[in-house]
Every structure is written in structure tokens, then in C-alpha cells.
Amino acid sequence: MIETKNSTRRVTMISSISEMKEVSQSIQKQNLTIGLVPTMGCLHEGHLSLIKRSLESCDKTVVSIFVNPTQFGPNEDLDSYPRPLESDIEKLDEMGVDILFHPSKEEMYPTGYKTFVEIKNITEQLCGKSRPDLFQGVATIVLKLFNIIQPQNAFFGEKDWQQLAVIENLVKDLNLDVAIIRVPLVRESDGLAMSSRNRYLSVQERQSALSLSRTLQKAQDQIRQGITSAKTINNLIQKRLLETEGAKIDYISICDPVNFKEKEQIRGRTLIALAVKIGPSRLIDNCIIEEI
Ligand code: PAF
């Protein structure tokens, strides 16, 4: 356990796997439930909504903060990913989180580490297309966290829709005893989806970033008015994003929300998902069109 200078600190900080396992086992022995909120830190309201759900429904809440190197590609932002640990701890303290699990890279991936989890068929599209390492890294670290912490419930945000699908399949296919709780995406008051990467944006870029949620809103309006052609909606989204200063489209997908197959007609439950690079940040956003 890490000694802290702050005597008012209530959250227990654990950085070793063996200690985390011991603490989890002793919680289970008391017949108490554990809720896990896995994060990479730089906590925002989106994370806090996951933590709130865990605090409400589980006896003990563990938040993990670990910037997982295996889910970043070679030219991605691993080194510059924000790591404001002290302010994260303050937030966890304020909320009454029981345990912060904050292992080092060496603890999670010691020299000689060899094992990775591969999930097929739902990881080749959307974010997995331009970030081929992403979901293998996510599935691997999440499985490790589940094995170490043994939570009954784990909380994930719907902003990372495809990540949630990957984790749900991981749990189902590998018969894991953990319930995955989906928590809706949280937006800033002007509509921007909360993301740790928003803090890279300049004032101008942040203005451009609003284009993602506004375009999704516009697409939903058009669909409500009766347009069902995915191509027409895709063209509308593309046009609006191309008009946005500094925006580079990674993907626009109008697809099935479970298997991510592209749709020609917007019928049945449909996911519209976007990834757009604005300045240094690659931003994602999505919305669900319920059955029409
Ligand atoms: O969503 C995230 O922050 C990460 O992908 C996760 C689930 C914590 C795994 O590193």
C-alpha cells in the first residue's frame, strides 16, 4: 500500500497485484460485492458517472487507473496521454471510492510478458480499422483487471460503444463471472462528448469539435423526418464534417450496434458512430437510432 502524506485521504491506494488480490479476497470473504471502474485516469464527468453507479450498487468500489501501453499504436499518444494523478485522487476521495488500483507498467507487463486476448469479427471495423492494436490491448488489460480484482460488476461508458461490445463478448465467450453495466455517454452542456483527450484542444479546436455532436443531432433529425437511406445520411454527415475547420474524418459508420455490419437502410436499431481528428485529438461520438 502506498503511504500518502495527506492524512485526510480515505481512498486506499494499491499498486501491487498480490496486495490487490489479497484485499479483494478479504472483501469477498465478508460477502461484500465489488464494483470495478477501469480507467486510464484524467477523470472527467463521464468517469464520475460510472463511479457513481458503482457506489450506488456495490458494497466496495475499486477504480483502476492504468494507461495501458498495449492498446496504443506506435504513432499514438501513449507518452503524452494526460496523467494528472493527484487531481484524480482528490476526485476519488471526494466521491468516497474505497480503493484505487494504480499498478506500474512493469507490474502489469513484466519482462517476458507473452499473452494477449484476440476477439474476432467485431474488432476489424470502426475504431479497430484505424487502430488495429486497440481492442486486443483493451481485452487483455480488462481480463487481467477482472482476474486480479474479481469484481461482481464492472462499469463501462457507451461513448466507447465498440469497446463495450468487445468486453461483453470477452465475458460471454470466456465464461467470466462479472456483470458488465453499460452507462450512457455524458456530454458537456454544449453537447461535446466528455473525453480525456478534450483537454488537448485549443479554443478554436474545441469549437470545431462541437461539429461531431451537432452533426449527429442533425442526422437524427433527418432520420426522424423519414430519410432511411444510410448513404444519404452518410453524405450529410460527411458534408458537415468536411465543412468543419481542422476536421479530418477517420470514419463515419451507420451500422448494426451488435455486429457493426454497415447498413444500407436505417431500419431496426442502428448505431451511427464517428471518429474525427481535430488538431491533436482523435475524437469519437455516437448515437443510437431506436427501431423505426
Ligand atoms: O476506456 C478506457 O479508458 C480504457 O480503454 C480501459 C477500458 C480502461 C482499458 O484500458
Q: Outline where 131-202 has alpha helix (H).
A: 134-149, 161-173
Looking at the fold, whether 34 and 110 belong to one and the same domain comes out as yes
Looking at the fold, whether 277 and 145 belong to one and the same domain comes out as no
Q: Which of 160, 183, 206 is the last residue of a domain?
A: 183
Could you give the 3-state DSSP secondary structure of residue 213? helix
Whether the CB of 38 sits within 6 Å of ligand 1: yes
Ligand 1 centroid to residue 157 C-alpha, Å:
10
Ligand 1 centroid to residue 231 C-alpha, Å:
32
Specify the CATH number for the domain of residue 22. 3.40.50.620
**Contact (CB, 8 A) for 15 and 89:** no
Looking at the fold, whether 268 and 246 belong to one and the same domain comes out as yes
Instruction: Write out the chain's pLDDT in tens, 292 residues.
Output: 444 445 567 899 999 999 999 999 999 999 999 999 999 999 999 999 999 999 999 999 999 999 999 999 998 999 999 999 999 999 999 999 999 999 999 999 999 999 999 999 999 999 999 999 999 999 999 999 999 999 999 999 999 999 999 999 999 999 999 999 999 999 999 999 999 999 889 999 999 999 999 999 999 999 999 999 999 999 999 999 999 999 999 999 999 999 999 999 999 999 999 999 999 899 999 999 997 6
Pocket test for ligand 1, best of 40, 136, 197 (most atoms within 8 A of CB): 40
* Single-letter amino acid, residue 188: E
